[in-house]
Amino acid sequence: MTLSDDFLAHQGDELTALKERLTEELAYFREAAAPVTLDQAQVGRLSRIDAIGQQEMHKAAAVQTEQRLRRVLVAMRKLESGDYGDCDQCDEAIEPRRLEAQPEVSLCLRCQGASEGH
């Protein structure tokens, strides 16, 4: 299955927008995951345990966002090289609907299911 030039251009726009959004989110999560410092005025509203818990959640969100951003950058390179839309494992075409839903996806449904043990 060959993807149309219009589809590829649209996916390029989607990937660019996604890259920008994820870059902003990553900056936010990294800032929010900074070491916890509480002054005396904050202690009454937010306990240190709560602050540390929130810090850990932001760290985890930063890791997930960074991983997705890496997948987006790989997809953008594939788009430039002409390999976008091909499954990384079987080299078959990935369904366009799957690419529309998740433009950075690198596996077809069959290979994705196999990698997850389904």
* Residue-number span of the structural domain to which 12 is assigned: 5-84
- Within-domain flag for 68: yes
| Number of domains forming the structure of the chain | 1
- pLDDT of the chain, 118 residues: tens digit per residue: 688 999 999 999 999 999 999 999 999 999 988 876 666 555 555 577 787 888 899 999 999 999 999 999 999 999 999 999 999 999 999 999 999 999 999 999 999 999 888 6
Is 56 part of a structural domain of the chain?
yes
Question: What three-state secondary structure class fits 93?
Answer: strand
Q: Is residue 98 part of a domain?
A: no
Establish if 92 belongs to a structural domain.
Answer: no
In whole angstroms, how far apart are CA 45 and each of 41, 53, 55, 67? Answer: 8, 15, 16, 33
